[in-house]
Amino acid sequence: MSARARRGPRDGRAQWLAPLWCLSAALGVLRTPASQAFNLDVDKLTVYSGPEGSYFGYAVDFHIPAARTASVLVGAPKANTSQPDIVEGGAVYYCPWPAEGSAQCKQIPFDNTNNRKIRVNGTKEPIEFKSNQWFGATVKAHRGEVVACAPLYHWRTLKPTPEKDPVGTCYVAIQNFSAYAEYSPCRNSNADPEGQGYCQAGFSLDFYKNGDLIVGGPGSFYWQGQVITASIADIIANYSFKDILRKLAREKQTDVAPASYDDSYLGEIHYLAHLLFLKRMDDVLIGALSSWNVYLYLQVSALVFRDPQILAVTEVFGRFGSAVATLRDLNQDGYNGIKRGKVLIYNGNKDGLHTKASQILQGLWASQTIPSGFGFTLRGDSDIDKNDYPGRCCSCGSWKPLVSPCRARPVVTVDAQLLLHPMIINLENKTCQIPESVSPVACFSLKVCASVAGQSISNTIGLTAEVYLDTLKQKGAVKRTLFLDNNQSHFIFPLTIKRQKSLQCQDFVVYLRDETEFRDKLSPINISLNYSLDESTFKEGLDVKPILNYYKENTVTEQAHILVDCGEDNMCIPDLKLSARPDKYQVIIGDENHLMLVINARNEGEGAYEAELFVMIPEEADYVGIERSNKGLRPLSCEYKMENTSRMVVCDLGNPMVAGTNYSLGLRFAVPRLEKTNMSINDLQIRSSNKDNPDSNFVSLQINITAVAQVEIRGVSHPPQIVLPVPNWEPEEELHKEEGVGPVVEHIYELHNIGPSTISDTLLEVGWPFSARDEFLLYIFHIQTLGPLQCQTNPDINPLDIKPATPPEDTPELSAFLRNSTIPHLVRKRDVRVPEPHRQSPAKILNCTNIECLQISCLVGRLEGGESAVLKVRSRLWAKTFLQRKNDPYSLASLVSFKVKKMPYQDQPANSQRGIKTSVIWATPNVSFSIPLWVIILAILLGLLVLAILTLALWKCGFFDRARPPQDDMNDREQLTDEKTIET
């Protein structure tokens, strides 16, 4: 079996169309946005309703059998009928127009029979199946003939096998529904799947201009689809209820194509827009379900079409193009239109269709209520109310069974004009007098003229006209012109137009303010006229009110000009030149000396009106003021302005800046801050309001930025030395308070920025002499900062949690130091006398190279030139450690350094470090000299005699021959190294 033969049957698009159909983008009864409404009247609607769940409105058409009669045909493919044993066979309803009362619709009796049967093996079995056949899925009327189809009508072949196929069937009604005939072109005795078994004839339906019927069958030949045509007269003449397989002699069908055309669905949806644009050739309008677009093909010669014009919308699941209908010439402008979708109305023109919808019809129900599928089915091209506007629409909702016909409103086309005299105004020619004013003014005359045209409009049309003067001047700007009657820049008045007259006008006088009240003499004086229909002039009881032509602008503009001294042509063409240079090409950040731009501006052509110099400045610069300008010329005024995110200085160069003017000026700027080491001042330019050659050349300047920041570290130890032993003090065995540790030692460090530039994000680090071999040296109790410092230590200070004492107030020396004064190198003398140190060996230096140090890390913030950050560390000498090593001098050194981590410019100062020392020395007690000298000398001599005798005796006894004893335990301990002084 071939691949084509193995494929299973399909139920047809009508079955999947129903559930997807409810995703239509618009819902409910008609409404239209006022801003987009054109000439379909949605204020007075007729709404037809049908049985719930019947899909009433799935198909619609207008039925106009005679000149002054009209009705609406509505298909309901899921409606129940009176046919015996048939469930939801579908029906077509006749709805009268105009509607009377509650607008009741009546079912048309196309078919009242049940399923026909045949005898198979002695038993009668149905040969056709009308339940769920979707009769009324398509409905079409043409000159009194009405055709409705059931595309899911199933037929069983005459063979013994019980196969049934959705061949589809149609019914034709003529003579005001007095005679009916069935037409099922795909019904036959051949059950071959390659034939017409799944034809679904009547899935689409239309009429030729000559009245012949066109039937689409998308399921034939493995869904290649086919189109079938037949004459209505042949269908009626050859119809027989019993001869159900009769073929028509003049019937035409498209034939089977190669297998590559499978699944083409020919005949699924088609629409021939006959005479869509008043041509003698047919144009084709196609709704594409795959892309949900609408394609219009204009025929330029026989079967030769232009590239398609595509209409598309962006509504998700809107199914745009699933319904398309012609409205013929909706607004009587000579070009037919179409509608689709929500519903959207597009009017025709000589090139096809306007791409912007002239009207959008929407539903009145909210989305949370029952969805109506509004706009699913569309019909037009019928003048149901006979007012000479044939483009009438019928927009239907099938989920909620409603049908809404709407009528077209007469279209009024207005031809409006503004006439000015003179169009060039001489300010010196002051011929008008303002009421209650003694000074004459310059003025000109203004005429507002209009004529109207349109089909079926009244002889007199009332308009409301609004005239606005000097509309190019935005709100808040000075209007240069005013109406002489009311001293206002706008005027509203009624304008009544007789249809038979060509132009009807109304006159006004407009005057100009005194030229001292405005500066702009070059830009045109723009005058605008807006007009609308004056609905108060419509006749009472008028059923359908007229509307303005949507595709005709209701705004007219004209311009007048002010005469300027620019030659005979009244056109000033300046020749503006600009040059600039800085007074120095290098700027030091933070320097108090300003930067000055020396600018030369000149005009070598005709007058430049409203000439201004624009200087765009960077974020880091500040405008200080104007330094100098030419002697003999009027003084210039410059001001700083901010427009959006642009910073600029604007200087007024004159109105006009006359030919030959040459300005030399200096603009001074300060540069207190900068993020980079270069700066550009861009877009220096002169601009005028002249129409021709209004601007000068652009000038851009590049200025180098240098950062000069001298940074130093200063420090002091207070006191600079500790003398042991401390008088009247003994160490405690168990330490609970700070005072029991030892003498106070404070180190103070200052990071000072000499400037002039700024530094920021600097790391200040201190290595503190903390301990050696688990013995404390300088024990920290408190850290104090002044300035933008944030510090932390590793390890923590005061690890023994000794109760700290209240720190005393700073001494004058320290207070001066914290105020960024010069660091004192000497401290003042104390009132209490201390023991004088005796001569000692060189001190052993204890620093981070030979002992354990505590690290203090401080992040220093932004420091301007001349500012400092100060760190003060308060500690106590751990006396117990040093008293165990009597008479050994030590130098305790902390090492402080800084490193710049981030700076507001690229050039960075060099890093530096310094050592701060505290000396530990020893002293002997003071001795009184009140004993006589001779006693002292005698005592010394006697001592020496005794020593000599004792030495002789010991030598005789061999005492000096004994071995040397071991050294003292203290000397066996590891000695603290004597290092060189750290370089500062």
Entry pTM? 0.46
What's the pLDDT at 933? 79
pLDDT band at 37 (very low <50, low <70, confident <90, very high): very low
Residues 6+ apart with CB under 8 A from 955: none
What digits encode the pLDDT tens for the residues 901-922?
Answer: 766 555 566 677 888 999 999 8
Q: Which of 551, 553, 550, 547 is nearest to 533 (CA)?
A: 547
Pairing of strands 91-97, 744-756: unpaired
Which residue is associated with the tokens 């071959």?
Answer: 192
Coil, helix or strand at residue 617: coil
Instruction: List helix spans (H) across 129-277.
Output: 220-223, 232-237
Asked if residues 95 and 70 have their Cβ atoms less than 8 Å apart, the reply is no
DSSP, res 739? G
What digits encode the pLDDT tens for the residues 164-204?
Answer: 889 999 999 998 888 999 999 998 877 566 788 889 999 99
If residue 17 lies in a helix (H) or strand (E), which one and from where to where?
A: helix 13-21
Strands (E), 329-376: 337-340, 344-349, 352-353, 359-360
pLDDT band at 424 (very low <50, low <70, confident <90, very high): confident
Instruction: List helix spans (H) across 734-860.
Output: 812-818
What's the pLDDT at 654? 81
Which residue is associated with the tokens 């309008």?
Answer: 285
In the numeric block, which tokens belong to residue 162? 């019980």
Largest interatomic CA distance in the chain: 174
Give the rounded percent of residues in the chain with a pLDDT score beyond 70. Answer: 71
Q: How far is CA 473 from the centre of its chain?
A: 29
Q: Which of 983, 981, 958, 787 is nearest to 867 (CA)?
A: 787
DSSP, res 522? S
pLDDT at 730 over 50: yes
| Highest-confidence segment of 10-14, 36-40, 623-627, 679-683 | 623-627
Amino acid at position 57, single letter = G
Determine the average pLDDT of the residues in 546-565.
87
What's the pLDDT at 705? 72
Asked if residues 45 and 27 have their Cβ atoms less than 8 Å apart, the reply is no
Cα R_g (the chain), whole angstroms? 54
Determine the average pLDDT of the residues in 823-837.
41
Residue 403 CA: distances (Å) to CA of 107, 147, 673 = 15, 19, 74
Asked if residues 49 and 57 have their Cβ atoms less than 8 Å apart, the reply is no
What digits encode the pLDDT tens for the residues 265-306?
Answer: 766 654 443 343 334 756 666 655 545 566 676 777 765 767
Q: Give the CA-trace dihedral at 243, 249, 253, 257, to 10 degrees.
A: 100
What's the pLDDT at 24? 29
Range in 73-82, 190-199, 638-647, 949-958 the model is least confident about:
190-199
**What's the CATH number for 576-706?**
2.60.40.1510
In the numeric block, which tokens belong to residue 121? 């093996």
Angle, CA of 275, 276 and 277, to the nearest 5°:
90
Q: Which of 687, 707, 714, 709 is nearest to 698 (CA)?
A: 687
pLDDT at 370 over 50: no
Phi/psi at 398 (5° precision): -95, -30
Give the rounded percent of residues in the chain with a pLDDT score beyond 90. Answer: 31
Asked if residues 391 and 409 have their Cβ atoms less than 8 Å apart, the reply is no
Across the chain, what does the average pLDDT equal? 78
What digits encode the pLDDT tens for the residues 699-716?
Answer: 988 877 776 778 888 899
Q: Is the dihedral of CA 418, 422, 423, 425 positive or negative?
A: negative
What's the pLDDT at 279? 41
Q: Which of 715, 760, 769, 751 is nearest to 898 (CA)?
A: 751
pLDDT at 794 over 60: yes
Pairing of strands 293-297, 309-311: antiparallel
Amino acid at position 900, single letter = V
In the numeric block, which tokens belong to residue 556? 């007219």
What's the pLDDT at 983? 39
Q: How far apart are CA 344 and CA 330, in angstroms?
A: 13
What digits encode the pLDDT tens for the residues 447-460?
Answer: 999 999 888 888 88
| Highest-confidence segment of 174-183, 533-542, 624-633 | 174-183
pLDDT band at 338 (very low <50, low <70, confident <90, very high): low
| Highest-confidence segment of 63-67, 590-594, 673-677, 876-880 | 876-880
State the distance between the two ends of the chain, measured CA to CA, in whole angstroms.
103
Q: How far apart are CA 679 and CA 689, in angstroms?
A: 31
What's the pLDDT at 315? 59
Determine the average pLDDT of the residues in 469-494.
91
Pairing of strands 424-425, 555-562: parallel
592-628 burial code (b ≥16 CB/10 A, e <16): eebbbbebebbbebbbbbbbbbbbbbbebbebeebee
Instruction: List helix spans (H) across 825-984.
Output: 879-883, 933-956, 969-972
Residues 6+ apart with CB under 8 A from 730: none
Angle, CA of 229, 233 and 234, to the nearest 5°:
65
What digits encode the pLDDT tens for the residues 742-771?
Answer: 999 999 999 998 877 788 888 999 999 999
Asked if residues 282 and 266 have their Cβ atoms less than 8 Å apart, the reply is no
In the numeric block, which tokens belong to residue 306? 């232009």
**What's the CATH number for 711-802+843-922?**
2.60.40.1530
Range in 58-67, 327-336, 807-816 the model is least confident about:
327-336
pLDDT at 556 over 90: yes
pLDDT at 426 over 70: yes
What's the pLDDT at 363? 54
Residue 82 CA: distances (Å) to CA of 79, 85, 104, 806 = 10, 9, 18, 110
Q: Which of 405, 375, 368, 347 is nearest to 44 (CA)?
A: 405
Structural domain spans, the chain: 411-562, 576-706, 711-802+843-922
pLDDT band at 153 (very low <50, low <70, confident <90, very high): very high
Phi/psi at 35 (5° precision): -70, -15
Asked if residues 285 and 295 have their Cβ atoms less than 8 Å apart, the reply is yes
What digits encode the pLDDT tens for the residues 629-675?
Answer: 676 666 778 899 888 888 899 998 887 888 888 888 889 888 776 55
Asked if residues 155 and 149 have their Cβ atoms less than 8 Å apart, the reply is no
Q: How far apart are CA 172 and CA 364, in angstroms?
A: 36
What's the pLDDT at 442? 94
pLDDT band at 30 (very low <50, low <70, confident <90, very high): very low
What's the pLDDT at 38? 58
* Better-scored residue on pLDDT, 652 or 381: 652
- Residue 98, preceding peptide bond in cis (omega within 30° of 0): yes
On the question of a common fold for 576-706 and 711-802+843-922, the answer reads yes
What's the pLDDT at 900? 76
Coil, helix or strand at residue 951: helix
Identify the CATH homologous superfamily for domain 411-562: Integrin domains. Chain A, domain 2 (2.60.40.1460)
pLDDT band at 355 (very low <50, low <70, confident <90, very high): low
pLDDT at 829 over 80: no
Angle, CA of 849, 855 and 857, to the nearest 5°:
135
